[in-house]
Amino acid sequence: MNYRHAYHAGSFADVVKHAVLCRVLVHLREKPAAFRVIDTHAGAGVYDLAAPEAGKTGEWHDGIGRLLDANLDAKTFDAKTRALLAPYLDAIAALNPDKTLATYPGSPALVQALMRSHDRLVASELEPQAAAALAHTLRRDPRAKALALDGWIALTSTIPPNERRGLVLVDPPFEQPGDFSRLVQGLEAAHRKWPTGIYLLWYPIKAAADVTAFTRRIARLGIAKTLRAEVIVSSATDDPRLRGSGLIIVNPPWTLRDELAVLLPALAGVLARDGAGTVALDWLTGESAT
């Protein structure tokens, strides 16, 4: 598997991941105290959808392209869903002032759009080309810092932050077969150092057995308040493409689960490939875990 950001910018997986990320950031903004976001596998920051990488896959057409088309139809989403999507879509619109979708914001750019003047972002990227692009993207923002650092090292070396409030986003490219295990181990080590932080972990849904084993290992960590959120866009288990986008959310804001119960089914309905979009939203530990 290889889910390097530049090739999949604006894909259905990005739409799910980034819509949820923006909801978490909105909640962090509700308290006056500063927060910090630590983005461990940040990528380039922003993406040209006409670039060779995005053009090679064209995944954005069935992701953000489809969502924007749907959002133009007042019958597609109710008012609550539109309000939940607004911070995400507003950030995209700000990067495309001529109203033609040409640039897609990665997670660092979305964080920049929703941070306040006293909040901070630390974004790490190791791949040289993406790291240089990230440094260029963040260079004029005094709130943000780019690190040319392995994201797995950044996961534990950059916490706890001085602000004591904030979010750790872990969105690895899954280039290595052991990345599911590394994600479990990384969360366990990071949570030990900063148990009050919010953690947002992305994972690909392709082989059901891999995902089941992964979520069971996360549950066995016994970390209180661990929420699972998945959107499946294809019911075909033999589909060679990515079938779904999954998120593990540790210490989610207290209203987030209810928001996702509205937002995720709406996204699944728009993004499904074969009319069979489905959602899984449940507590692995804490609240009413089963």
Active site annotation includes 171: yes
Q: What is the spatial distance between Cα 150 and Cα 188, in angstroms, rounded to a whole number?
A: 18
Q: What is the spatial distance between Cα 2 and Cα 4, in angstroms, rounded to a whole number?
A: 6
By the 8 A CB rule, do 266 and 83 touch? Answer: no
Whose tokens are 């040209």? That residue is 48
Whose tokens are 């891999």? That residue is 210
DSSP bridge partners of 230: 246, 280
Q: What is the spatial distance between Cα 86 and Cα 88, in angstroms, rounded to a whole number?
A: 5
SS3 assignment, position 140: coil
Q: Which of 10, 59, 84 is nearest to 265 (CA)?
A: 84
Whose tokens are 């449940």? That residue is 282
Set 171, 238, 239, 258: catalytic member: 171
What's at 138, amino acid-wise? L
Q: How many residues does the chain have?
A: 290
Q: What is the spatial distance between Cα 166 and Cα 155, in angstroms, rounded to a whole number?
A: 13
Tokens of 238: 């033999």
Residues 6+ apart with CB under 8 A from 184: 214, 217, 218, 221
Q: What is the spatial distance between Cα 24 and Cα 18, in angstroms, rounded to a whole number?
A: 10
* Inter-axis angle of helices 256-271 and 12-29, nearest 10: 160
Residues designated as active site: 171
